[in-house]
Amino acid sequence: MGKPTGFIEYLREIPVDRAPLERVHDYKEFHHHMEEKKLRNQGARCMNCGVPFCHTGKLISGMAAGCPINNLIPEWNDLVYRGQWKEALDRLHKTNNFPEFTGRVCPAPCEGSCVLGINEPAVTIKNIEAAITDRGWDEGWVIPTAPAVRTGKKVAIIGSGPAGLSAAAQLNLAGHTVTVFERADRPGGLLMYGIPNMKLDKQEVVLRRIQHMEREGIKFICNANVGENVEPQVFLKEYDATVICTGATLPRDLPIEGRNLNGVHFAMEFLTANTKAVLGKGLSPILGTGKDVVVIGGGDTGTDCVGTSMRHGCKSLLQIEILPKPPLERAADNPWPEWPKTYKMDYGQEEAAAKFGADPRIYQTTVKKFIGDTQGKVKELVTVEIKWEKNDKGQFVPKEQPGTEKTRPAQLVLLAMGFLGPEQALLKEINLETDARSNIKAEHEKYTTSIKGVFAAGDCRRGQSLVVWAINEGRGAARECDRYLMGATDLP
């Protein structure tokens, strides 16, 4: 620990983002980096705790507490303070295949479990992580490393999101010949089309990593929709093992009156179409330009819909959340080191507030029906306030409050209410066993499915979750797949 009093001497600082009203005019990343001296001071704030919780990676009250991939956070914080950036990158890569992704899009449960965060603002772990990895790429320290010896074993990965990519990277490191199948026109899965470019640049960050993996010997096959234009039995016949990482892409719907009107879309339809347009695939068919846009649902996906609509130049923006507004400080039933369920404005809400004057979110509200015009296009929706009350089973359920109905303008409605699980067609075609939540049945830390030689990882196994959990699962599935192929494994 290079600076025992750093957490006393230095206040928490984060990089200054580009101004909201400036950044809404483009799709460039909006985060800036801090100068090195300030970053080193932030690294010095790490207390090097005797029992650090930041890298524990546990589920507490159903949410991540600490880093799910067990990043060696105190070590690389101290190395940054000392100016030993290359050594910090080496520590980072020991546990994380893609720190340039998590340093941008992870919600940082590590910071929620930072011991300093008990009574002071937490260490800026996420920003330091991003600075380490970006410096590594800039300095040329991230170089392709192909295995010295190939095992002769062939492994197929279905899906190229964060779980599929991390499984591919680890299995390639073990010497297996890895082929990744992706149904979209570009690899990356959620990283490519589920997260907007202003949060995670596709060319400079995502495709850079994909090309790096290709140089290490991993093969990517796009437009390969297993079960449609690729026969699932191919994997059982031609590969020694298969890892399924297809994600949880079945969206939660809102089956109310008017749902079939034109202009009501799932969030991922909207975000995918927009990213394709940003990457030069023509104009997006779903635009919020000049429209009253309503986003139903919160979370990262809802925020991304808000930010994208702002860049389209929407007329107005409303975001509807069914849950109560979070408190400004931790509630008594949300103690450290749990993830802090507190109120914050993310980048999308900041942009909407800068343009329209206020946070666009309303809480404890739901939508009763959509109203269309004579051409079958949505023009309005009806909302009603709700209150959460216990039913006769002791469960909290939403109760509509009489007299609170409101009719609101809406020419574009985006459903961002989460995901129910993996799409079922592939699973049914190969008779893969699922659990009660429709996820692929495979025990955590084992990842073995009901079919010998077939493994599952990521959201298709655990349900909708964080990118960092997907990386954890991909690495774990790779370890067990390697053990299955070789009888033992050296993968972590």
pLDDT at site 414: 98
Rounded to 5 degrees, what are φ and ψ at 22?
-85, -45
Give the mean pLDDT of 246-255.
96
Confirm if 337 and 112 have CB atoms less than 8 A apart. Answer: yes
Short-list 271, 264, 299, CA closest to 27: 271
Mean confidence (pLDDT) of the chain: 95
pLDDT at site 35: 95
Q: For the chain, what is the HEC assignment? A: CCCCCHHHHCCCCCCCCCCHHHHCCCCCCCCCCCCHHHHHHHHHCCCCCCCCCCCCCEEECCEEECCCCCCCHHHHHHHHHCCCHHHHHHHHHHHCCCHHHHHHHCCCHHHHCCHHHHCCCCCCHHHHHHHHHHHHHHHCCCCCCCCCCCCCCEEEEECCCHHHHHHHHHHHHCCCEEEEECCCCCCCCHHHHHCCCCCCCHHHHHHHHHHHHHHCCCEEECCCCECCCECCHHHHHHCCEEEECCCCCEECCCCCECCCCECEEEHHHHHHHHHHHHCCCCCCCCCCCCCEEEEECCHHHHHHHHHHHHHHCCCEEEEECCCCCCCCCCCCCCCCCCCCCCCCCCHHHHHHHHHHCCCCEECCEEEEEEEECCCCEEEEEEEEEEEEEECCCCCEEEEECCCCCEEEECCEEEECCCEEECCCHHHHHCCCCECCCCCECCCCCCCECCCCCEEECCHHHHCCCCHHHHHHHHHHHHHHHHHHHHCCCCCC
Cα–Cα dist 236/453, whole Å: 8
Give the mean pLDDT of 266-288.
95
Short-list 357, 371, 358, CA closest to 405: 371
What are the Cα distances from residue 319, in Å, to 21, 212, 323, 388, 464? 19, 39, 12, 19, 21
Confirm if 158 and 235 have CB atoms less than 8 A apart. Answer: yes
pLDDT at site 244: 97
pLDDT at site 65: 92
Whether this model's pTM surpasses 0.85:
yes
Q: For 266-317, what is the HEC assignment? A: EHHHHHHHHHHHHCCCCCCCCCCCCCEEEEECCHHHHHHHHHHHHHHCCCEE
Q: What is the pLDDT of residues 61-101, one digit of tens each?
A: 888 899 999 999 999 999 999 999 999 999 999 999 999 99
pLDDT at site 282: 86
Confirm if 94 and 454 have CB atoms less than 8 A apart. Answer: no
Short-list 459, 452, 439, CA closest to 480: 452
What structural domains does the chain harbor?
6-139 (1.10.1060.10), 154-249+420-486 (3.50.50.60), 253-417 (3.50.50.60)
pLDDT at site 228: 86
Confirm if 268 and 304 have CB atoms less than 8 A apart. Answer: no
- Enumerate the β-bridge partners of residue 458: none
pLDDT at site 236: 85
Confirm if 454 and 480 have CB atoms less than 8 A apart. Answer: no
Short-list 454, 469, 465, CA closest to 226: 454
1: confidence class by pLDDT, cuts 50, 70, 90: low
Give the mean pLDDT of 45-53.
89
pLDDT at site 61: 87
Cα–Cα dist 326/318, whole Å: 18
241: confidence class by pLDDT, cuts 50, 70, 90: very high
Q: What is the pLDDT of residues 133-177, one digit of tens each?
A: 999 999 999 999 989 899 999 999 999 999 999 999 999 999 999
Confirm if 75 and 91 have CB atoms less than 8 A apart. Answer: yes
pLDDT at 3 over 90: no
CA 335 to chain centre: 24
Q: For 417-436, what is the HEC assignment? A: CCEEECCCHHHHHCCCCECC
pLDDT at 2 over 80: no
Structure token digits, residue 166: 């991390």
Give the mean pLDDT of 108-133.
96
Say which residues have a Cβ less than 8 Å from residue 62's Cβ, sequence separation at least 6.
none
Q: What is the pLDDT of residues 283-318, one digit of tens each?
A: 999 999 999 999 999 999 999 999 999 999 999 999
Q: Report the percentage of the chain scoring pLDDT > 90.
A: 90
Say which residues have a Cβ less than 8 Å from residue 231's Cβ, sequence separation at least 6.
none
Structure token digits, residue 187: 């690899």
